[in-house]
Amino acid sequence: MVAIVQKLEKTRLSAEDWALAALDVIAEQGLAAVAVEPLARRLGVTKGSFYWHFPSREALLVAALERWEKTEQETVFGQLEAIPEPRARLRALFQLVAHELKPHVIYSELLKALDHPVVKPVLSRVSERRLDYLTASFRQAGLGRIDAQNRARLLYAAYVGFLQLSLQLGQPRLHHDEFDAYVNHVMTTLIPE
Amino acid sequence: MVAIVQKLEKTRLSAEDWALAALDVIAEQGLAAVAVEPLARRLGVTKGSFYWHFPSREALLVAALERWEKTEQETVFGQLEAIPEPRARLRALFQLVAHELKPHVIYSELLKALDHPVVKPVLSRVSERRLDYLTASFRQAGLGRIDAQNRARLLYAAYVGFLQLSLQLGQPRLHHDEFDAYVNHVMTTLIPE
DNA sequence: ACCTGAACACCGTTCAAGT
DNA sequence: ACCTGAACACCGTTCAAGT
């Protein structure tokens, strides 16, 4: 019963709390800003206590990113299953991923931090999954094996590259009109029919 | 005359030497690996001496990247001026930039380190220049203003995104055959005629 | 004009001791 | 079961002193 009271009052922290706080910081200020001491301050404890929950800063990052990976997967693919027509599904995926939900913000931050060894495997899995999905949809839409694969690469590269470009040029992404025009251009150019 | 002897013997270092060493480290191990102490060891001096040449690690990075920016600009655009036909020039640019010269390796490393404030302005200038060049070439090839701009964005995004994807998936880039097939796919899909 | 060596601040990590 | 507080290592930075 003591345990229940503690849960309700949130007097003590769990590993989950640290992971969620880390994700907030990533979304707000990037991966590099996830530092044990500031995080501890944010959570109202001393940095020493962090090491009861995690063996290292890196372990915290891994936990946080795995959590993100799971939710982003559910968000993105969950919404697509409802759409049977492959071309429509392709458009939906591109649109979904190109508008700024929170998972999308974190994806951007990870893109900027590919330098960090913890990031690469996560993005690798996420991209692989999306690429496979795109390839399958292009096949269903009638393309041959090789063409479907290359077209999938091109479409996904167009997405990642555009995001990257926005980050580089430092516009807070394009105006909505301009962005929509670009998305249309991409879809009419790359998605058959 | 003492000065001349010193130059010949290279007994002492210049800011240039530090910048070049930094670029080597970036190409080999990424931006994060540029640390004052290891660099000093590499150059056979103590880290204290670094601060005679630069006020900070950040200033070193700025100097190194500006040097890279200049040479990469000369390399890429220098070779294109010889090609008058816009479609051929577009293909040449894409090919040039997609094969792994040293500037290209550093570009990749910078892509991974967009997190760092020093990197963004450099990549911003480089990308802006390439985008403008692409847009102009598409116009010369007959596209209207808006279409040329969107097509340039798409082509450049296809390049950056593909690079990014290669970095993410951690293949040491695709097999040459597969890569060439992809490049062909992109060019036939995106470059008119 | 360039370099050394000692010092300091900051942050990740450890750990004995507290509740 | 979770947290504190003091300690240490590492690296960026400073600076007085050397050549």
> Of the ranges B33-42, B70-79, B89-98, which one carries the lowest mean pLDDT score?
B89-98
Q: How confident is the model at residue A130, as a pLDDT?
A: 92
* For residues A80-105, average pLDDT: 78
> By the 8 A CB rule, do B137 and B89 touch?
yes
Q: CB distance B182–A120 less than 8 Å? A: no
Q: How confident is the model at residue A1, as a pLDDT?
A: 34
122-141 in A: which are within 8 Å (CB) of B? 123-124, 127-128, 131
C-alpha dihedral sign at A24, A30, A31, A37: negative
Q: A4-11 long-range contacts, Cβ below 8 Å, gap at least 24?
A: none
> Of the ranges B56-70, B71-85, B96-110, B124-138, which one carries the lowest mean pLDDT score?
B96-110
SS3 of B94, please? helix
* For residues B34-56, average pLDDT: 93
Interface test with B, best of A61, A97, A115 (most B CBs within 10 A): A115
Q: How confident is the model at residue B9, as a pLDDT?
A: 42
Q: How confident is the model at residue A134, as a pLDDT?
A: 92
**Domain boundaries, position A46:** 2-190
Question: How close A47 comes to chain B (CA, Å)?
Answer: 24
Q: Which nucleotide is nearest to B11 (CA to C1')?
A: C2
Euclidean distance between CA atoms B14 and B49, whole angstroms: 11
Q: How confident is the model at residue B40, as a pLDDT?
A: 92
Taking alpha carbons only, the member of B165, B149, B158, B146 closest to residue B187 is B158
Euclidean distance between CA atoms B44 and B129, whole angstroms: 38
Average pLDDT of chain B is: 86
Interface residue A151 vs chain B (CB under 8 A) = yes
Bases on strand D under 7 Å from any protein CB: 1-6, 11-16
| Residue A31 neighbours by CB under 8 Å, 6+ apart | A61, A109, A110, A112, A113, A116, A119, B115
Binning chain B into helix, strand and coil, the percentages to the nearest 5 are 80, 0, 20
Average pLDDT of chain A is: 86
Confidence of residue B37 (pLDDT cuts 50, 70, 90): very high
> Of the ranges A29-33, A87-91, B12-16, which one carries the lowest mean pLDDT score?
A87-91
> Tens digit of pLDDT for each residue in A44-68?
999 999 999 999 999 999 999 999 9
State the DSSP code for B14.
-
How many other CB atoms are found less than 10 A from the CB of residue A1? 5
* For residues B21-25, average pLDDT: 94
Q: How confident is the model at residue A99, as a pLDDT?
A: 67
Output the six-digit token pair for A164.
């990257």
Taking alpha carbons only, the member of B57, B93, B46 closest to residue B72 is B93
By percentage, how much of chain B surpasses pLDDT 90?
Answer: 58
How many domains does chain A contain in total? 1
Q: Where residue A26 sits, what CATH number does that domain have?
A: 1.10.357.10
> Of the ranges A42-46, B34-38, B124-128, B179-183, which one carries the lowest mean pLDDT score?
B179-183
Residue B3 pLDDT exceeds 70: no
Nearest chain B residue (CA) to A192: B189
Confidence of residue B60 (pLDDT cuts 50, 70, 90): very high
